[in-house]
Structure 1
Amino acid sequence: GPVSSWLWSFGDLVTSTDQNPVHTYTIAGTYTVSMAATGSGGSDVETKTDYIVVSEQPPVAQFSGTPLSGLLPLAVSFTDETTGVVTARAWSFGDTGTSAQQNPTHTYNDAGTYTVSLTATGPGGPHTETKTNYVVVSAPSIANFSASPESGGVPLTVAFTDLSTPNVTGWSWDFGDTGSSSLQDPTHTYTTAGTYSVSLTVEGPGGSDTLLMTDLITVHPAAQSIFRNGTGLNPACFLAAPPVIGTLWIGAVDSSVVPGTTLTVLLARTQSIPGITLSTGELLIDPSSGFLFNSFAAATGGLDQHSFGVPMNLSFVGNEGHLQAFLFGPTLQWCNAAALTVGFPTLNPTPTAGFNGAPQTGPAPHTVFFNDTSSGAISGWSWSFGDGAASTLQNPTHVYTTPGTYPVSLTVQGEGGFDTSLQLDYISVQ
């Protein structure tokens, strides 16, 4: 029949008189529910035993860590801040490391950025909190570099290469000659002979580091040579560029300056060397390798070239030398003395001498226009016209007044050294 009132009992001491109530259970458990309905015909009760089952809520996983950044190895202390009932914990530190402790400490041994997660499990199930890129571990920057070349003649340009690792953000170079740079891979030119130490300081997230390489760069003096072209009894008969350490030195004797005479080249050191006896006709460059230059004879009436290897061993360098070509004939004569400096190759290429002249034949007086065709960086010219006359012009004009056949030579000079072009019997004057 019709119902005039209702009485609900939800099993947790809470009741309701609504016809269709809504009830919230706040404690986990199993509840028996009953409802009593009353009308004009009386009342009736229905009971449903263990009708409602309320489970535990899962915990809410939360955590924090400190410190969250630093240099490796970095030890981070983690604190569990989970709410709710927790029966188990599972930590993942992002580097394959794990833990089941409530408040673990984990050490990171590799640089990187790490994501950390905590899974908290309770009667109501699991819950996970993940913090992406939570821990940042940096490695200290280690300074390292290379240089090329490490030695050479002045001026010496050196390319430096940064080999530092890892995560370098700044560079500070000191080249040892007051020069500096903040580039990663700088190039520096040394303009003064000497030995230089170079340092590199690098900056990175992990701080700074400095590497000093002592006496890394050796800058040698450039090769030099001064030839004293003979006059009178000392005709010019010997041609050579500066002897350069570690290269092949070539000397040439022109015996046509005195036709029919055999020339013998003798090389002798003008300075005494304590404890070493020198023989005439020899120039000692390195005592450990023996005498370097020996006497040689040039063929009669022509140009004779001889080459000698100049060693790299610098235990002693005979850099002040004396060079002579002696004529053996009816009377003993000599020609073309030269003061030599043995040095090192420069970065500037040696110029290449070349020339032409026109007309090459004609009656006396014969005017010849000479044209320099040399290549390379050249700062000076020295002409020998074969009749005792000379010029330092680049493109000279010369008048031959006496019939004969004349050799012509041109020596050019630049920062890279010397070179000579000799053309025998080049000018014929009738």
Structure 2
Amino acid sequence: MGKIVTFEATFIVFLLSNKKKPRELKLVVIILFLTVNLLNAQVNAVFTSDMTSGCSPFIVQFTDQSTGSPATWYWDFGNGNHSTLQNPEATYINPGHYTVSLTVTNGSYTNTVTYTNFITVFENPTADFYVVGPSSGCAPVSVTFHDNSDEGSAPITEWLWDFGDGSITYTQHPVHIFPIGGNFPVSLEITDANGCGSSIEIPGIVDVSQPPTTLFSGDDLVDCAAPHTVNFSSTSFGTTPLNYYWSFGDGQYSTLANPSHTYTVNGIYTVSLTTTDQHSCSSSLTYEDYVQVMAVVAEFDVEDNLVCYGTEVEFINNSTGATNYDWDFGDGETSWSANPGHEYEGGGTYTVTLLASQGGECPDTYSMTITVEEVNAQISVSDTYICMLPTTVQFIDESENAVSWLWDFGDTTFSYDQNPEHTYDYPIDTNINFDVTLTVYSPNGCTDILYLTDFITVVLPTPAVSVIPNGGCIPIDQVWTDVSTYFTDDDEITGQTWVFPDGTTASGSTVNYTLTEPGVDSAMLIIETAHGCLDTAVFYIFGGEVPVPVFAVSDTICASDSVQLFEVSTDQMITSWHWEHLPT
């Protein structure tokens, strides 16, 4: 039998076109509302969680999503724990799968929902490791670690090692060097593919002993001859007690902390000390060539003790038994290098002296003469300015210490003479400069080169004449004018000489001349410059005579007849004719 439900409802009456059965319609409406309210009174259990899987231990937050206005809740988490809260938390510790159920009630209805294997708890990996080989000793100690961890629900994917000395690594089976002494804990943290992890720390698994620090000194390390005694003192420190082992470099040894040792043979000796602590850790210190018992012999050499000026002299130190060197190059310059180089500022003979010693003790000197040969190229010339061709220039060598010469005159010609003459001739364009180079050689082959840029200057004047008028019937009064050009600031045209056709001459930049002979004739202008150069221009003048016309007729004719006229002049200069009939 159905359960009685009490409810309140609001009835809505619809007026339909069919008015015959309004009650039947109202009844339908009431039934609909009753059905709806009956459905709303039931409860339906529903829930969610913030996670469904994780690594142990992990806490799950459950959230009630039930409908029907439940008033009570009963949770079964599948791990033996229950809750009556609406939104409880549950902690899962042991690995496995867990079924979760929720029962809800509203006082009238009850509903239960169950989610099978809803929660999965992964099994965590277990971290573990061990050391392969020794884990203690004298620093530095190399230790090999082996990962011995067990997997959980998934493969291990990450390893983090902390060696306790500030160093870490991410390799599975690391090898680590502990550089200093100490007792070091080592830890390993692992993570698997599910994100689950585990860690382990083993305190003091690595024990490293710090070796002692070896230090020593000696009090009188240099002497010129044996026998010689040196007092040695150790300032080593470490875990006491320390043991000492000295090697004096001459085959003798000592185990004292602060021994004295006498060297009986001249020589240079290397001294070493090894100290060992109670853990058998040791360290050594060696000083090369620490003790010197021998006389100093100063000596040096050079590749050649005759050098050319400008060449650096390399000194080769062959001294023995010395630690300090004092050079005097003979020109006021000095050096304290073992094998110096030096360039002299001028030619001459220099005495080089080396003072060798052992820190100022047992001094010895050695000297050598260095000759620096210098050759200096210098010249003079008869003239460097050329204003007519050909011109011969006298070159004069004024070099110092030269025995051979090579001249380059700049026009592709050369000479090996000491004081050559060189002629500059055509073809040469006007306004051109020539570089002159002199290379000189000393008796021992040292050289010097003198470069003289634009040393020889060639500027040629260009003579030219203006004749006004030039032509006509003699006698002709002409004006001859010098219109020569000369493009230079170093010279100028200072004189003109005119040579007339009859051989007479005149001077001046302008002259007058009367041409009295017919025909073509030549004249000449000679110009002279302040530098003494001459140049000539030949020019031509011409004039003609007044022609004398002569003609003849072919025969005696009658009036009104035609006649043939013939020009029979002997003047060959006539070029045109004009006939005119004169009235009688």
- Shorter-chain TM range is 0.3 to 0.5
TM (norm. structure 1) is 0.34
Where relative contact order (Cα < 8 A, 6+ residues apart) is larger, the structure is 1
